Amino acid sequence: MYINWALYYIPKVFASFSYLVNPIFLYLIFTEKSNRYGNYRFLLLFFATFNVCYSCFTVFVPVDVHTYRYCFYMFINGGYFFESSTLGLNMLIARCGMISGSYAILLSHFLYRYLVVRNAFISAHFKLYMLGTVMMFIFFFVYWYGVGIRFAFADEEVKAYIGENFLHDYGENCTTTNLVSLLYNEASHKIVSRSWFTLCAVTVISTLSISLYIVFGTLTMRKLNENSFRMSASTTKLQKALLKSLIIQTIIPICVSYAPCVLCWYSPIFNINLGRGLNYLEVIALAAFPFCDPLAIILCLPVLRNRILHHIRPAKNSVQIELP
């Protein structure tokens, strides 16, 4: 199968960076004094572990996205699961589940920060909270899995619709590949109906997640301002730095992942071809997420940033702050 060199190499490069950055990130967190980050360290451990798993899917389940007339489809473009099979299709849906799971991970961070500034009993109920976070992730994963298997799999009608275009662009018969698709027109009522249902479902779950980021971020900042007279200046500064890193973590996927996804989902509705460049950007951006997010935390927190840069410039003195 013909694969653009950027699409082949750049996601793997980002995955390699993720394998490097996330262990360094965990080392920096867990070698700090335990009372500095408190139980938040374990949420970050969960976050970094998810990033590494996500990068493994990037390497072993490489994907490509394409739009043709009224159809959007995603398929495995190489590797062990390229050939059409039930296992390969399941791995493709699991790959989609990792993307949706990233929304849950970010949401758990915003929720945690809000609970902290609300002076909630994080220490006493942290195990319960972590269980809730895991269940939230499983919900997102299972949601994508069920929607993908039941509503977005490409049956013979869809493969016949894109077959000539797929053969022209990739030099392969699409019947031998694993792919999921949305076809909005020029198809049977069954295909069109399930495509619109899937589109509405993924749009709602993505938009709702981003809306909750904004809600919890706004509530957290408002609570920080209200409690500024009760908290020390150094504690308030650290809490704002953590919130800032979360905001950057959110802006990254919204700008380079969510926005291209929305364009790819919706442009076929109007039979608009935005070009392969957007497809390449989307796939590369999805691969960059597990590398960029821990890097954002490191760069936004002075304590961690100075430990990385201490060979370049003297590290600034930092205040020991206890977080719940």
pLDDT at 320: 46
φ, ψ dihedrals at 310, nearest 5°: -65, -20
- Average pLDDT over the chain, rounded to whole? 79
pLDDT at 323: 44
Rounded CA separation 313/324 (Å): 31
Phi-psi domain of 69 (left: phi exceeds 0; alpha: psi -120 through 50; beta: other): left
Q: Report CA Rg, the chain.
A: 22
pTM of the model: 0.83
User: Taking Cα atoms as reference points, which of 174, 187, 186, 215 lies closest to residue 84?
Assistant: 174
Per DSSP, what are the bridge partners of residue 183?
71
Q: Per residue of the chain (324 residues), give pLDDT as tens.
A: 667 888 889 999 999 999 999 999 999 888 876 556 667 787 788 889 989 999 999 999 999 999 999 999 999 988 888 888 888 888 888 888 887 777 777 877 778 778 777 765 555 555 566 556 666 666 666 666 556 655 667 678 898 999 999 998 888 888 888 888 899 999 999 899 888 988 888 888 788 888 888 888 888 878 777 766 666 666 667 667 767 777 776 777 677 667 777 888 899 999 988 888 888 888 888 888 888 888 888 887 777 888 887 755 554 444 444 444
pLDDT at 229: 60
pLDDT at 307: 81
Per DSSP, what are the bridge partners of residue 63?
76
H helical segments located in the chain:
5-30, 34-37, 40-60, 86-117, 126-147, 156-170, 189-226, 233-253, 259-266, 276-300, 302-309
Name the strands in the sheet holding 63-68, side by side, starting at the edge strand that comes first in the sequence.
63-68, 71-76, 179-183
pLDDT at 30: 85
Tokens found for residue 312 = 């370049």
